A and B are shown apart, each in its own frame.
Chain A
Amino acid sequence: MVKEAGPHLRALADGICDAGITTFCHVPSSHVAPVIRDLEARGLRAILANREEEAVGIVGGLRLAGVPAALVVQDNGFGNALTALSTFAIAYHVPLPIFANERGGLGEYNSMIQAISGNVPEILAAVRIRVERLGPSDPVAVWRVTARAAAELATIQRRPVVTLFAALHPALEVVA
């Protein structure tokens, strides 16, 4: 069954569009799929990558060429992407907005994924990548504004900025 984006994920897509992102690179994930489909439906160019570090390279090249591009991935891929993020995006000052759905928290059904996803904020902090987080206690309007501002901050700072959003949290449906 194809999942549709709820109000929070639509607001996230709104914010990505508000920031002027025209192209995004994604890695397959069922829980980020509604965002990917929403952005595609709005006319953004979607590029499918096979691994997260590959996506970092592609989006990094696009950004150096002046294309307002972003990554849309799942947080368990940060383990794959860490060397690319640090030795390329950080070292070369590449503006890299990254939107990643969180796994391993409330609503999780997979026993092992928290082994990586539960540590992602600390992993990213260790390489000094800024992280913004969005959850069910954040109003829909905040999701939109935060997504836009995070993308803009990445551009201003010329660094990766990660927005972690709790797409699986069961309270998203309650507060919607």
Chain B
Amino acid sequence: MKRLEALEVIDRELGSYPLVVTCGATAREMDSLGRRNNRLPLLDSMGLTSAVGLGVALGTDGPVGVVDGDGSLLMGFSILPTLATLRPPNLTLVVLDNGQHASADSMPSQAAQLDLAAAIRGCGLHTVEVGDVAGLAAALAAAVRDDEFTTVVARIQPGNAAGIPFLLEDPVVFADRFVAALRGTQP
């Protein structure tokens, strides 16, 4: 499963909910699927995605999604015990694990050397592992339906999609749209 294929599934299953997306190629590829105001790409805050998503989930009644990467999650690994402590039932964390920092010249991440899902599970988090499009779709649908904090670790192929443009807007543009979407108002 390529990252872009995984993102298409995420957009289909979680696209109508607030979604916090990790930086680099992941944010760009997600944006290439069509812009949504309820999507917050973190353009340069590597390691912060799951923390921001946790805060949004704690402040929101409906479902909230986070799209993190193995590299980004490893940079902010301390969020896992915090998530395990708080367990917001409306939050679904998707970790796209390609075993590399694909946006950093495809340098290997330490996820290539460890069982990331087992590490997350070791923090006491309900964790589902998937390796294909159908499995990802089913896991996300179940996560939303079951109203339980769920982490979905999706194994994806290394590398980035070609020809995806940079996101050059001022980050506050994304923030304003996201806040307006959360409040049901126009940005």
Q: Are A92 and B172 in contact (CB under 8 A)?
A: yes
Quick check: which of A42-50, A130-138, A165-173 contacts chain B, the rest being far away? Answer: A42-50
Q: Is B20 an interface residue, CB under 8 A from the partner?
A: yes
Q: Are B175 and A87 in contact (CB under 8 A)?
A: no
User: In the complex, A58 Cα to B48 Cα: how many Å?
Assistant: 9
If A61-B58, A62-B58, A64-B179 touch, does A56 touch B40 (CB 8 Å cutoff)?
Answer: no
B58 interface neighbour in A55, A56, A65, A88, Cβ under 8 Å: A65
A54 interface neighbour in B78, B176, B179, Cβ under 8 Å: B78
Q: Are A88 and B59 in contact (CB under 8 A)?
A: no
Q: Are B178 and A64 in contact (CB under 8 A)?
A: yes
**What sequence of 0s and 1s flags, for each residue 6-21 of chain A, a beta carbon within 8 Å of any chain B beta carbon?**
0000000000000000
Chain A contacts of B58 at CB under 8 A?
23, 47, 58, 61-62, 65, 67
User: In the complex, A92 Cα to B41 Cα: how many Å?
Assistant: 10
User: In the complex, A15 Cα to B142 Cα: how many Å?
Assistant: 44
Chain A nearest Cβ from B82, distance in angstroms? 6
Quick check: which of B49-57, B113-121, B127-135, B147-155 contacts chain A, the rest being far away? Answer: B49-57
Q: Summarize B's interface: helix, strand, loop or mixed.
A: helix
**What sequence of 0s and 1s flags, for each residue 33-46 of chain B, a beta carbon within 8 Å of any chain A beta carbon?**
00000001011110
Chain B contacts of A83 at CB under 8 A?
45
Chain A nearest Cβ from B72, distance in angstroms? 11
Q: Are A65 and B60 in contact (CB under 8 A)?
A: yes
Q: Are A57 and B174 in contact (CB under 8 A)?
A: no
User: In the complex, A57 Cα to B47 Cα: how many Å?
Assistant: 9
Q: Are B82 and A88 in contact (CB under 8 A)?
A: no
Chain A residues close to B by CB (< 8 Å)? 23, 47-51, 53-67, 69, 83-84, 87-88, 91-94
Complex A-B, nearest 4 residue pairs according to Cβ-Cβ distance, in ascending order: A61-B55, A57-B51, A65-B59, A50-B78
